[in-house]
Structure 1
Amino acid sequence: MIATKRAADTAIILIVLLLMWQALHQLVGATALPGPVPTLAYFAKLVPSGRFAENAWATLVCFFYALILSYGIGLAIGLWMGIHRLSGAVGEPILISLYTLPKVTLYPVVLLIFGLSLSGRVTFGAMHGVLPVALLTMGAIRNIPPVYLKSARTLHLSRWQTILTVLFPATLPEVVAGLRIGFTLTLLGVLLAEMFAAKQGLGFLIINAMQLLQAEEMMAVAVVLFAFAALANALLLWIEHRLHRRV
């Protein structure tokens, strides 16, 4: 019953989005925004092509490395600052300030250090995802009920036993929420890096299509990215809800 309702809600949202897209297309014209039907027709031709596969693979490789980096660093920082209260009190305002800073202003620095390389795009993507992962992980640890930690001390659990048997299960739902946000922002960072300074990738395809006034290709690539991000976000959200129920 719940699954049917969610499927119906999803279908309604998609229909509304398509209608809004068509209405905006009628308003601004095909040159600026092609309609859903021409875009999907171009999408059907673009996706099987070798050019799309090559650029999609380049984006996936870059995104994979950036995601591993943002998750690893973010979880480590969040765990450290959550366990050590003094570090959290000092570091949290710094992380929040960095989080509110537009990362695109730092991209020239990344280019100076790494140049037009894969490392630069990976670093820029990870910069977007690491902070929300760290902040939400730290918040999850701080929100653990004190009775859990008192019980661990009563049972004379070691630090690692406390982390594995108390901190990890109690914080997992909120940590997954941070991973979900980090996933989306890391993908955004990778695409921005490809738009600004890359010769391959889906971000490069979008900016190249925009420069050549190929609106249908630009929208077709955007549809691919929207579908990928929506499916991944839905999966992580489902995992998050399941974990909340278990906790």
Structure 2
Amino acid sequence: MSTALASTVAKPRAARRWTDALALIVVLVGLWQILSEWLGPDVLTTPLHTVQRAVHIVSDVDFPQSLYVTSLAFASAFAISAVAGVGIGLLLGARRLAGNVMEPLMMGFYSIPKVTLYPVVLLACGLGLWAKIVFGVMHGIVPIALFTMNAVRNMPPIYARAARTYRMSPGDFARFVLLPACVPEVVAGLRIGFSLTLLGTLIGEMFASQSGIGRLLMIAMNRNETSTIMALALMLFVFATLVNMLFLAWQRHLTHED
């Protein structure tokens, strides 16, 4: 009975959420159209023209190769950021002293404009895939580690006491207690790290790459092709938004939010 009631209550909430999202999209598109007419197409293209340009770019014969290059670099960078970030966060969260020492250091590193470190990355990795991966990891790993570390620190102490009572090994404690208890906040960190890793990968492609979506953006910026810039930005925005919605839905499911 309670399950049926909860399902009945959840449906109107879900419908209202989708209605609000649709209304927000309509408002944003309307504002976009107004700004485009006010500033002119040389500054900001209209939504319709931007979508048409995006369709033209996607149908170009060279676009699949650019998409593959960017996807490979980004997927590799995000996988490394996620695994390493969660691992570092679990370790620093469990070792409070180490966490207190490392947290300000990580925040200090993250406050540095990553572009200033790009020459170092190029000297270490050269031009190619690894430079883009490293640049993406530099952007994404710190937020994931910090979210995970704070999740461990906020874990109820009873969990650790129960693990000690059952004499669990550190590996079993991390696998069966720490990670499951921290998953909702870890997912929140992954959601933030996803967008920042994508940003870092694209910036890496813009500065030193012979292919990829970032390279297409740089070429369009050099040629002052506003429509191409807007079309690529729209595609990246839609992709990042959809993936973030999936992460958010996963997080709500884990926290039992409707």
Does the CA-based 8 Å contact 2:85-2:145 persist in structure 1?
Answer: yes
The answer to whether structure 1 residue 86 and structure 2 residue 108 are counterparts is no
Give the counterpart letter for 1:24 in structure 2.
L
Deviations 1:92-136 (A, max 9, x none): 110111122221221121112222211101100110000001111
Give the counterpart letter for 1:134 in structure 2.
A
Give the counterpart letter for 2:235 in structure 1.
V
Where does residue 98 of structure 1 map in the other structure? 109
Where does residue 129 of structure 1 map in the other structure? 140
2-structure distance, mates of 1:67, 1:164? 21
Deviations 1:59-102 (A, max 9, x none): 10110111111112211211111111221121111011112222
1-structure distance, mates of 2:28, 2:64? 27
When structure 1 is superposed on structure 2, of 229-238 and 24-33 the one drifting more is 24-33
1-structure distance, mates of 2:207, 2:252? 37
2-structure distance, mates of 1:78, 1:106? 24
* Aligned with 1:245 (options 234, 246, 256): 256
Does the CA-based 8 Å contact 2:86-2:144 persist in structure 1?
Answer: yes
* Aligned with 2:34 (options 5, 9, 23): 23
Where does residue 71 of structure 1 map in the other structure? 82
Q: Give the drift of 1:156.
A: 2.7
The answer to whether structure 1 residue 60 and structure 2 residue 101 are counterparts is no
1-structure distance, mates of 2:236, 2:245? 14
1-structure distance, mates of 2:209, 2:40? 30
Where does residue 126 of structure 2 map in the other structure? 115
* Aligned with 2:206 (options 182, 186, 195): 195
Where does residue 6 of structure 2 map in the other structure? none
Give the counterpart letter for 1:30 in structure 2.
P
Q: Give the drift of 1:149.
A: 1.0
Give the counterpart letter for 1:162 in structure 2.
F
2-structure distance, mates of 1:208, 1:227? 21
Does the CA-based 8 Å contact 2:209-2:215 persist in structure 1?
Answer: yes
2-structure distance, mates of 1:137, 1:118? 28
2-structure distance, mates of 1:91, 1:46? 44
Give the counterpart letter for 2:122 in structure 1.
L
SS at match of 2:103: helix
* Aligned with 1:8 (options 19, 35, 39): 19
Give the counterpart letter for 2:254 in structure 1.
L
SS at match of 2:256: helix
Where does residue 222 of structure 1 map in the other structure? 233
Give the alignment's Cα RMSD to 1 decimal: 1.4
SS at match of 2:105: helix
Task: Structure 2: state its 5+ residue gaps.
Answer: 1-11
Q: Give the drift of 1:173.
A: 0.4
1-structure distance, mates of 2:217, 2:42? 15
1-structure distance, mates of 2:196, 2:175? 28
Where does residue 206 of structure 1 map in the other structure? 217
2-structure distance, mates of 1:165, 1:198? 42
Give the counterpart letter for 1:87 in structure 2.
A
2-structure distance, mates of 1:165, 1:190? 33
Pairs aligned (count): 246
1-structure distance, mates of 2:41, 2:169? 65
TM-score under structure 2 length normalisation: 0.91
Task: Structure 1: state its 5+ residue gaps.
Answer: none
Deviations 1:118-166 (A, max 9, x none): 1101100110000001111111111111111112222333323322222
